[in-house]
Amino acid sequence: MSVTIAHTDIGDLCSGSVFLATGGGGDPYVSQILVEQALKKHGAVELVLLADIPDDAFVVAIGEVGAPTVSLEQLPIGTECLDVVDRFEAWTGRKITHIVSFEVGGANSVIPLIAAAAKKIPLIDGDGMGRALPEAQMMTFAIEGVRPTPAVAVDYAGGATYFDTADTLLYERQIRNIAMAMGGMVFTAEHPMTANEARRAIVPGTISFALQIGQTLNGNYGNARQVEAPLKALFEHSDYGILKHLYTGKIVDINRKIVGGFDVGEATIESVGGRAPPMTLSIKNEFLVATVAGKVKASVPDLITMVDHETSSPINSERIHYGQRVTVFGIGCPPHYRTERALKVVAPRAFGFDFDYQPIDTL
C-alpha cells in the first residue's frame, strides 16, 4: 500500500514534528514554505514503510545541521537540498533509492521532502532519532553502527564540503565546525545505508506519527489541558508508550547563548501564583532535563516538550520569551534509546549531568 504526503499535509506534519522536537530541531516555518512550494510544483511524495524497502535499497539521510536560532534570521537559499543530493550522487557515483530524515523533530522532518519531491525519490516513514537531539553520535544510525560518511555538506554560499571518516565522533566535530564557520547552518546528505542497515537503524513510523500528532494538536483547538487526553491516548498506543503532564506556568527567565555551534541555556518557569517551586529546563538545542526543587522530573533520552498553554502549539526553544504561559509534557523515548549501548551516548551523563537516566514512567 502506498501512502503519499501532499502539500496539504505539511501544516500538520510541522506541528507534530515541533512537538517531537523537544524544543530543538529548528522552527519549521520557512522550511514549510519551501516544502509546500516544492510539493505544489512536483506533486506529492511517496512515503514508504520501512518494512517495504527492497533489499537493494540505497538509503541516504538528508537534513540541516547547526544552531536553530540562526535560521530565524539567515534563511536558506532554498535549493540546498537538491544541490546536496546532486553532489552526493556525483561524488559517490551511486543513485539514492530512498531518502530518510535523520531527525523527525522540527524543520528536519520536512526538509527531506524538498529533495524527495524534486528528485522523485521516495521517503522512508521513519527517522534516526524519533525526536530531536543535538549530535550525530546520538542518532540511532550511529548507535546501530552505521558509518556516517561519505557525506556532503552544502553551505549558504553554495559551496560544499566532503567528508570521509569512519568515526562518528570525528564526523560530528567536523560537521559542527563547518556549520559554525558557514553561518551556523549547513545542509547534509549523510549516513548512507544498505537495506539491512536501514531496517536495523531507523526508528520506524515516525513521519506518519508526527502527522497524527499534528492532526490532534490542530484538530482539538483548545488549551493544553484540553488536548492532554487525546495526546495521551495517541502516545500510549505508540512506541513512546507514555505522555505525562509535568508543569504549567509562566516563563520568568530565559538565558541562552550560541556556544560551540549549539544553542545552550536554561529556562525557568514559575507556577501561576508562585504556589509550587519553579521548574528549570536545561537546553542544548533541545530540552535535556526538567527539574523542580532539585528533583529531576524528566531527562534525556525521554522527551520534554513545551507547548503554549492556551493554544497547545508546541514551542521551539529559540521562540521562548519572557512572560509566555506554557505547559511542559514528558514523553517516553522510543525503544531504540533504551538499550545500554544507546544510553552511553544519550543519557544525562553524556551531556555532562551528574546523574543516571531514570525512565519517566518510574519518576
Contacting residues toward another protein, per CB under 8 A: 29-30, 33-34, 37, 67, 69-70, 72-79, 156-158, 180, 182-184, 221-223, 225-226, 253-259, 272, 308-311, 313, 315, 319, 321-325
Task: Choose between 258 and 296: whose C-beta lies nearer to another protein.
Answer: 258
Task: Choose between 78 and 359: whose C-beta lies nearer to another protein.
Answer: 78
Least distance (Å) from another protein to the CB of residue 4? 23
Provide the 10 A C-beta neighbour count for residue 196: 11
CA dist., res. 360 & res. 131, Å (int): 16
CA dist., res. 97 & res. 196, Å (int): 14
Least distance (Å) from another protein to the CB of residue 160? 14
Least distance (Å) from another protein to the CB of residue 198? 30
Residues 6 or more apart whose CB falls under 8 angstroms from that of 146 comprise 191, 193, 197, 201
CA dist., res. 182 & res. 185, Å (int): 7
Tell me how far the alpha carbon of residue 135 is from its chain's centroid.
11
Task: Choose between 80 and 197: whose C-beta lies nearer to another protein.
Answer: 80
CA dist., res. 356 & res. 363, Å (int): 12
**Grid coordinates 506519527 are at which residue?**
209
Least distance (Å) from another protein to the CB of residue 47? 24
Least distance (Å) from another protein to the CB of residue 176? 14
Task: Choose between 194 and 223: whose C-beta lies nearer to another protein.
Answer: 223
CA dist., res. 229 & res. 203, Å (int): 25
Task: Choose between 176 and 191: whose C-beta lies nearer to another protein.
Answer: 176
Least distance (Å) from another protein to the CB of residue 327? 10
CA dist., res. 169 & res. 151, Å (int): 14
Classify the C-alpha dihedral 169-348-318-40 as positive or negative. Answer: positive
Which residue intervals of 8-144 are DSSP H helices? 10-20, 29-42, 80-92, 111-119, 140-143
Task: Choose between 159 and 335: whose C-beta lies nearer to another protein.
Answer: 159
